[in-house]
Structure 1
């Protein structure tokens, strides 16, 4: 959803609220978008929308992607079981959510899930 941090939290909330009121309920993220900050911004926007009764959490479909990671260690990137499990937990924490509708990884020619 967010590749850089040129827009404030309030700006992203306004964009999401306008999109939601126009019929959009799917918001995509990735752990690598601005080092995980995208998920944090979207998480705060989701919570604000819930507090202001613009949407409920059940109204939204939130996805995220795992692969590149936010750190450079051997278990902090890629598709190792450790990174998938810990990366998803970290993404959910940043999104302030207990669930995500979809977690994906970009297609890779020579790497499989271990």
Structure 2
């Protein structure tokens, strides 16, 4: 995993460069407390405008390609649960549930 600084991308477009997929566990703040295996394309090109309105293009593979696809899905009204392997959906907080005898709170809102 490489360090990636935050970028503004206006009107992002993704072009898939490698149609083979990698399946890896994925989670999201939109569905707190769970994760599941999600297939994502291996490599892509991200095009768009930067914060100054200049066109840019970026090649992405691995973790960065996964993140870009995840965020592009959000822009298209899709969350990972729409494309996950349904049998792999897992609660990520079982240790807390067990430690507290089933008494837990999972807040889903603005704090």
Q: TM-score range by the shorter chain?
A: under 0.3
* Bigger Cα Rg: 2
Give the structure-1-normalised TM-score: 0.25
